[in-house]
A and B are shown apart, each in its own frame.
Chain A
Amino acid sequence: MSVLEIRDLHVTVGEGDDAKEILRGVDLTVRSGETHAIMGPNGSGKSTLAYSIAGHPKYTITGGTVTLDGEDVLAMTVDERARAGLFLAMQYPVEVPGVSVSNFLRTAATAIKGEAPKLRTWVKDVKTEMAGLEMDPAFAERNVNEGFSGGEKKRHEILQMRLLKPRIAILDETDSGLDVDALRIVSEGVNKTREEGDVGVLLITHYTRILRYIQPDFVHVFVNGRIAEEGGAELAEKLENDGYAAYVKGSTEVASA
């Protein structure tokens, strides 16, 4: 049983006079077994929230706290946060030339588990998970994210989540850029993880589409750096029909897709 608690989180980007406040007091609690959807228009700060929790150096925390089971997440290095059980599936996964997927996955698993996984079971696990995500085995020999299509990158992110078995998984727009088949496959991967274990999921999305595949317990509408409204799955339906106009004056951004 794990709890990620975010309290009055304030975050800026940029240095000195250029510093710009993006998160303006975020409160959110994610427990094991819960799935939270964060929905908001472009530029509202959703990725900033995800990156701040993961510890990206670009963001400066100017106020508030983030704890995982009472431990101060903000005091941890990026790798310590991952080893504590946090995982971020990125909106824009990064290319790492010359580092093969297989080497990367095994290095990451070794770091998370604290010891190298047994080769035979590991190879089997990777194969099984790749098959589940309908990924070609040849994928393992390619360099991390290099030349991957948008859909391949997202599958690779979910593959990592499956193998690293985090306590809290944050999925930042994992649905964007996926065709219907890929969306279904990726969603099945997430649902399997929810069924198998006690993971808490924070699903960040712009569109309601993925919520037809992954049923959220809570929906938070994220506007202008803070949560503007909260509710259950029914809130997603409202967004589906009305878009973000009720929250952002003059907004024509739609949430249905």
Chain B
Amino acid sequence: MSASPENTSTTELTTDTAALASELFAPGVGAQAGPPTTPAEGTGVAPGAHSHGGPAPTGSPAERFTSTDPDAFGVPTGREETWRFTPMKRMRTLLDGAPSDAHLTWTTDLPEGVELTSVEAGDPLLKALPEPADRLAALARQRSGGAAVVRVKSEAQLDRPVTLGLAGTGSDDIVWGQLVIEVGAFARATIVLDHTGLARYAGGVAIIVGDSAQVTLVSVQDWAPGTVHGGQYDAVVGRDATFKQVVVTLGGDLVRLVSNVQYAGPGGTAELFGVYFADETQHQEHRLWVDHAVPNCRSNVLYKGALQGEEARTVWIGDVRIRPAATGTETYELNRNLVLTDGARADSVPNLEIETGEIVGAGHASATGRFDDEQLFYLCSRGIDAETARRLVVRGFFADVVQLIGIDGLQDRLMAAIEARLGALPGLEEQSVEQPA
């Protein structure tokens, strides 16, 4: 049962359409983003936020079904809630699940205090992980037949990020992968998964964040065209721990990532950030599931996407559940989509289920639209030509999230990749480097 605003008196519901819209989107322009598949209020169309309570707009089941057995899910047809946005034809090869020994090419940078090993199928470590939530994730868990394991020692303070460069080899064979990242208590670590090359890849990533640890997981999808990537990320956030995930999806033909968060103890914080940029015919789908089942935890979600070109398609589903036991929860989620050309379509479905009134705050908002005329006018009124102003706005739109990664070199590379996609920004490179202050 989801609570309505009336009976959650301590809930601060943020559904500030006006503020959101005025900040980024011109009113009444969102319709060009294409109609949403579900008539969820405001999603995919006009800038808007969502009311709470009533039937869940996603139709998400009260309990999500999970299993390690792929066949327990049946073979999806595309009508299922979890698959209804996905282009099934392009996903079919992965879902057929042919076994394979193919691998991505790994290039690793492991700082002191970090160990990379592997475990066999049936290892107790794997049994303890959160279970797959769809057939593809279950296939990945099963077919990979074990897992690579990254361990960060308790209390380790890494002097640089752990980087796993994961490159597709261009083979037609499916790559099945399972990665487990274990970060010990009080450790502080950043882990970067840098996906490049051409691949058909289904990969599970589980990250166990020890008590009071501070962990950033960056997942970059800088795939070559033609790549199909399906992945499930599971974070288990320890007591008083902070988990930050930054997902950057730029490349590939079809990328569908499911990010789940659960809390192993009270006091945990999860920050889920993402940017995506879909060009012609690309499908980028990000599904989030934050399960608040213990008291005094926080979650903060910010995903921003831009779309350009015919049949560019993005899907963002943000499910946040606050169970009866999760008193003192504070959560906010926001998705914004910037539609740069006709023929592109963004779906955005935030869904907040609140089952206790004893929370600190909960809110969500979603807005999809064209450029904001007010922003462009402001920049142009300072002499900046319309084309440069437009690029500044889009660049800023992405930089807003990219700068949350906290690794300068990677941020520069990603912003350069984004700018290349936007076309050359006249005279801007030199300017972003030097600061007057």
Contacts and interface: CB of A to CB of B under 8 A. Distances in A.
Interface of A: 54-58, 77-79, 81-83, 87-88, 90, 93-100, 102-108, 110-112, 116, 119, 122-123, 126-127, 137-141, 143-144, 160, 164
Interface stretch (B37-45, B128-136, B360-368, B371-379): B371-379
B382 A138 contact: no
Given A97-B397, A97-B400, A56 B377 contact: yes
A98 B400 contact: yes
Contact of B383 (A56, A93, A164): A164
A96 B392 contact: yes
Nearest to B400: A98
30 contacts: A54-B377, A57-B373, A57-B377, A82-B381, A83-B383, A88-B381, A90-B378, A94-B375, A95-B375, A96-B375, A96-B392, A97-B23, A98-B395, A98-B399, A99-B395, A99-B396, A100-B435, A102-B437, A105-B436, A107-B392, A107-B427, A111-B382, A111-B383, A112-B382, A119-B434, A126-B436, A127-B437, A141-B435, A160-B382, A164-B382
Contacts of A55: 377, 380-381
Interface centre among A58, A83, A94 (most CB of B within 10 A): A94
Contacts of B435: 100, 102, 140-141
A78 B372 CA distance: 15
B384 A143 contact: no
A82 B226 CA distance: 46
A90 to B, nearest CB: 7
Contact of B436 (A58, A94, A122): A122
B405 to A, nearest CB: 14
A140 B434 CA distance: 11
A105 B392 CA distance: 12
Q: Which of B379, B383, B398 has the most CB of A within 10 A?
A: B383
Nearest to B434: A119
B393 interface: yes
A112 B380 CA distance: 11
B338 to A, nearest CB: 11
B325 interface: no
Contacts of B422: none
Interface string B31-56: 00000000000000000000000000
B386 A79 contact: yes
B290 interface: no
A79 B387 CA distance: 11
Chain B interface mostly: helix
B6 interface: no
A82 B392 contact: no
B184 to A, nearest CB: 34
Given A97-B396, A137-B437, A138-B437, A54 B431 contact: no
Interface in B398-437: 398-400, 403, 427-428, 430-432, 434-437
Contacts of B431: 103, 106-107, 110, 116
Contacts of A103: 392, 428, 431-432
Contact of B388 (A111, A119, A123): A111
B379 A104 contact: yes
Interface of B: 23-24, 372-375, 377-386, 388-389, 392-393, 395-400, 403, 427-428, 430-432, 434-437
Contact of A79 (B385, B399, B427, B437): B385
A137 B436 CA distance: 9
Contact of A94 (B378, B385, B392, B400): B378
Nearest to A81: B381
B436 A79 contact: no
B304 to A, nearest CB: 9
B380 A78 contact: yes
Contacts of A127: 436-437
Given A79-B386, A123-B434, A143-B396, A93 B378 contact: yes
Nearest to A95: B23
Contacts of B383: 79, 82-83, 108, 111-112, 164
A144 B427 CA distance: 19
A25 to B, nearest CB: 25
A90 B379 CA distance: 12
Contacts of B374: 94
B388 A107 contact: yes
B237 to A, nearest CB: 28
A189 B277 CA distance: 42
Q: Report which residue of B375, B378, B398 has the largest number of chain A beta carbons within 10 angstroms of its beta carbon.
A: B378
A158 to B, nearest CB: 13
B380 A107 contact: no
Contact of A102 (B24, B373, B379, B436): B436
A143 B400 contact: yes
Given A57-B373, A57-B377, A93-B378, 5 more contacts: A55-B381, A97-B24, A98-B396, A111-B385, A116-B431
B427 A94 contact: no
The 3 closest A-B pairs by CB, nearest first: A98-B396, A98-B400, A111-B383
Contacts of B389: 79
A108 to B, nearest CB: 4
A249 B403 CA distance: 55
A108 B375 contact: no
Contacts of B393: 96, 99
Nearest to B431: A106
Contacts of A93: 378
| Chain B CB within 10 Å, residue with most, of A55, A77, A103, A122 | A103
B398 A98 contact: yes
A110 B427 CA distance: 9
Nearest to B396: A98
B377 A94 contact: yes
Contact of A96 (B385, B386, B396, B428): B396
B412 to A, nearest CB: 14
A109 B395 CA distance: 19
A55 B437 CA distance: 32
A82 B396 contact: no
Interface centre among B388, B432, B437 (most CB of A within 10 A): B437
Contacts of A90: 378, 381
Greatest chain A CB density within 10 A among B380, B398, B403 is at B380
Contacts of A138: 437
Contacts of A58: 373
Contacts of A79: 380-386, 389
